[in-house]
Amino acid sequence: MSASIGAPYRVGLVLIDDFALLSYASVAEPLRVANLLSGRELYHVSVLPTSGAMATSSGGVLVPATANIGHPIDLDLVIVVAAGNPFTFKDERVMSWLRQLARRDVALAGVSGGPVVLAEAGLMKGYRMTLHWEHAPALRERHPELVIDRSLYVVDRERLSCAGGTAPLDLMHALLLRDRGVTLAREVSDWLQHTEIRPPGGAQRAGVVERYGVHLSPLIEALGAMETHVTDPLSLDDLAQIANVGARHLTRLFKDKLGTSPMALYRKLRLEQGHRLLCQTDLCVGEVARATGFASAAHFASAYGAQYDLSPRQSRNRDSSYG
C-alpha cells in the first residue's frame, strides 16, 4: 500500500447515501491538505456515489461524482463511507465491484458504517476490524465469525476499518506517517488543528465516569460489567461481588447517585441494545431476545413494550435507521 515515488496514490471514496459528512470530511481533508502543503498531487481522490451523479449526506449535503462505480478506473485504495443503517444497503452491483477490487489486491477500507458493507460483501473474514460502536452489536449477531475490536481504527494488511466521526483523522495521520513521513504527517495535523493524535486502540466512547457522571468505584465497576454482559446478564449478587460491596449497599448507591436500581438500569441498557438490533438487523424477535439475555420472545416483548410503549414489530417498522 505504500505510495510509489512520483506517482499520486489513487484513492476512491465510495459514498453511500445518508453517509456522515463529518466522516467523509475527516477522510478527504487530510489528503487535500497533504497535496496543498507538498505543492503537488500526492493523492488523487475520486468520489464515487453509489446512486447516480450525486451522493447525499445525512444532513442533505450533495457531493458530486468524479468517477463511476464499475467504470474503468485504477485505484490503490477504496474507502466506503456509510452511516444511517448500513445493514439496509443491498446493492449487489456495488458489492460485486468491491469483491472484484479485492481480487485485484486493491486495498479496501470502511468508515463508520462502511465496514458493515465490506463485511456483508464477505470481505472482512479473516481480518481484524472495527466500526462505529452503534453498529457493532448487530454485526456481531449477523457475523459471529468476525474479529471485531472496539478500536478507533484497525489496519490489517490490505483491509482498513475505522469507527467514523473524527476517528478518520487519526487513521489518515497514521497513513501519512507511514507513507509520507513524520514531517508531512505532523504538518497536515497541525494545519487541521488535530494536534492530539489518538492511537488506534483509543476508546470510541466516553468512559463510564463521563457518560453516567459517577466517580465511586463500586458504581464504575458495576456499570462496566453491565455493558460487557448484555447477552449473559449478571445477577445483583454477581454485580455486587464485582463491585466489591454488598448487594444492599450497591442498590443504595445506584438509587442515591443514578435515581434507579441496578437491575432496572441493567434492563434498560439491554433493551436499548435490543432496540438497535431490531432496527439494524433482520433477526427475529426471539433471536433479539436471546442476544439481550431475555428468557423468551414474550418476556422481551413485554419488557420492550413497557420501556418504549411499542411492540418490537411496531418499533422495527417505524425506526429503520441510525444517524
Q: How far apart are CA 36 and CA 159, in angstroms?
A: 27
SS3 132: coil
Average pLDDT, the chain: 90
Q: Write out the residue limits of the CATH 3.40.50.880 domain(s) in the chain.
A: 9-191
**Full-model pTM:** 0.74
pLDDT of residue 129: 94
pLDDT tens digits, residue range 191-204?
A: 999 988 888 876 67
Give the DSSP H/E element, type plus range, for residue 119: helix 114-120
Q: How far apart are CA 179 and CA 161, in angstroms?
A: 18
3-state helix, strand, coil in the chain (%, to 5): 45, 15, 40
Q: Write out the residue limits of the CATH 1.10.10.60 domain(s) in the chain.
A: 208-318
pLDDT tens digits, residue range 276-321?
A: 888 877 788 998 999 999 999 999 999 999 999 999 988 887 654 4
In whole angstroms, how large is the CA radius of gyration of the chain?
22
Q: Would you place residue 322 in the very low, low, confident or very high pLDDT band (cuts 50, 70, 90)?
A: very low
The CA-based diameter of the chain, rounded to the nearest angstrom, is 69
pLDDT above 70: residue 222: yes
First to last CA, the chain: 31
Average the pLDDT over 233-237 and give the result: 95
DSSP secondary structure, 146-212, as one string: SEE--SSEEEETTEEEE--TTHHHHHHHHHHHHHH-HHHHHHHHHHTT--SPPPTT--SS--HHHHH
Q: Would you place residue 205 in the very low, low, confident or very high pLDDT band (cuts 50, 70, 90)?
A: low
Average the pLDDT over 240-251 and give the result: 94
pLDDT of residue 72: 83
pLDDT of residue 2: 46
How large is the angle between the packed helices 21-38 and 182-191, nearest 10 degrees?
120
CATH topology assigned to domain 208-318: Arc Repressor Mutant, subunit A (1.10.10)
CATH 3.90.1280.20 assigned to domain 9-191? The reply is no
